[in-house]
Amino acid sequence: LFWQQKSTVDNAQSQINSLKTQLANLQETGQVSSVQSVASQNSPCMVRVDANDPGFQSSGSGFIVDVRGYIMTNEHVINNSTTINVTLSDGKQSAATVTASDAKMDLAILKLSTNTANLVAVVLGTNNDIVIGEDAVAAGFPLGTDLPGPVSFSGGIISAMRSMNGGQYIQTDVTINPGSSGGGLFALSGKLIGIPTAAVIPF
């Protein structure tokens, strides 16, 4: 009986060691990630977007989608603004102009007005990277200028896919705070899979 128990323990330990080796191999090849690695990979890609019009200022988030200085954010962040200022992850600031926007999809693309070197762009995912029940990470600048950088990250899961107002939306229980609109929603692979655009706030 003792020998059988010892043999069972040895087999279990062998299986554990094998799983550890497989996990290490997957991590080395980039097939398995963590919230920490998502944050490390995407922190340089995130920006704060401050939009101004006469008598009003709004602040949201965005991310670098192209190293030539193109930023993506929510349309409602920059709607009706007369001036837009973008703060990069290293604290550098640049004016920006709107190159394209779509109110229905709540998306806007901005272009930095100054040439900035060493920009880092997000890696775009596809629908295949959106898996219900898997972990997701949101990045943004909650509370805007009231809580200046660095960028904040929060974790949760992908709860569901929903069709609303003619568009496809990712439902997630990741905390989305005011100011995080226009930021990034990432899979654990580090790929961008969505843009936070709305949150359910309990009363």
* 56-66 and 135-140 strand pairing: unpaired
Q: Write down the number of H helices and E strands in the chain.
A: 3, 11
The larger pLDDT score, comparing residue 17 to residue 139, is at 139
DSSP-assigned letter for residue 134: S
Instruction: Report H helices in 29-148.
Output: 35-42, 75-78
pTM: 0.77
Per residue in 26-70, pLDDT (tens digit) is 455 444 458 889 999 999 999 999 998 877 888 899 999 999 999
Mean pLDDT (whole number) for 142-162 = 82
Joined tokens for residue 163 = 């069709």
The catalytic residues are: 76, 106, 181
Check residue 146 and give its pLDDT: 65
Q: Compute CA distances 7 → 10, 19, 80, whole Å.
A: 5, 18, 72
pLDDT surpassing 60 at residue 13:
yes
Residue pair 142/180 in contact by the 8 Å Cβ criterion: yes
Check residue 26 and give its pLDDT: 47
Share of the chain above pLDDT 90, in %: 47
> Order of strands across the sheet with 167-172?
167-172, 152-164, 135-140, 184-187, 192-194
Q: How far apart are the first and last CA of the chain?
A: 61
Per residue in 94-121, pLDDT (tens digit) is 999 999 999 988 899 999 998 888 899 9
Check residue 20 and give its pLDDT: 57
Q: Compute CA distances 10 → 4, 20, 57, 122, whole Å.
A: 10, 15, 65, 45
Check residue 32 and give its pLDDT: 45
Per residue in 125-146, pLDDT (tens digit) is 998 999 999 999 999 988 766 6
Share of the chain above pLDDT 70, in %: 77
